[in-house]
Structure 1
Amino acid sequence: MRLDKFLKVSRIIKRRTIAKEVADQSRVTINGQVAKSSSAVHEGDEISIRFGNRILTVKVNLLQDSTKKEDAVEMYTVLEENKIED
């Protein structure tokens, strides 16, 4: 599954266009490697996303093409959420 689609379907980011922009600005890594919006996501991958002054790290548990809002949280596990100090 594409990175931008995973971020949207899992509801980590609400819109796919926003997910694409974030990834294309080199603010997302998959297993420590900078990822583009078209990068493939697999179960077991660790994804880190930089949102302004915080970094969210999640582990991919499940890949689904579509999901209900209440089932979206099953797609990933939050590993870390850190604030970046300036």
Structure 2
Amino acid sequence: MRLDKFLKVSRLIKRRTLAKEVAEQGRIAVNGNQAKASTTIAPGDTLTIEFGQKLVTVQVNDTRETVRKGEAETLYTVVKEEKI
């Protein structure tokens, strides 16, 4: 699954276009490497996302095309969240 689609489906970022812009700005890393919006995500990958003053690291548990709002948090596990 593409990175931008995963971020939207998991509701880490609300819109796919916004996820694409964040990736183009170099604020997302997959397994320690800077990622593009088209980067393929698989279960077990680690994402590091820079949200303004926060750095959030999540572990990908599952990649599904669609999920309900209540089930979106099951797609990932927050490893750490720190202020920068």
Would the TM-score normalized by the shorter structure come out above 0.5?
Answer: yes
Residue deviations 1:43-71, cap 9 Å, x none? 00000000111101000000100110000
Secondary structure at the residue paired with 1:4? helix
Give the TM-score, by structure 1 length.
Answer: 0.97
Question: In the alignment, residue 58 of structure 2 is paired with which amino acid?
Answer: V
RMSD: 0.4
How many residues are treated as equivalent by the alignment? 84
Measure, in 2, the Cα distance between the counterparts of 1:14 and 1:69.
11
The reply to whether residue 18 of structure 1 matches residue 18 of structure 2 is yes
Runs of 4+ in 1 over 4 A off after TM superposition: none
Measure, in 1, the Cα distance between the counterparts of 2:46 and 2:70.
22
5+ residue gaps in structure 1? none
Percentage identity across aligned positions?
54
Equivalence for 1:34: 34
Equivalence for 2:5: 5
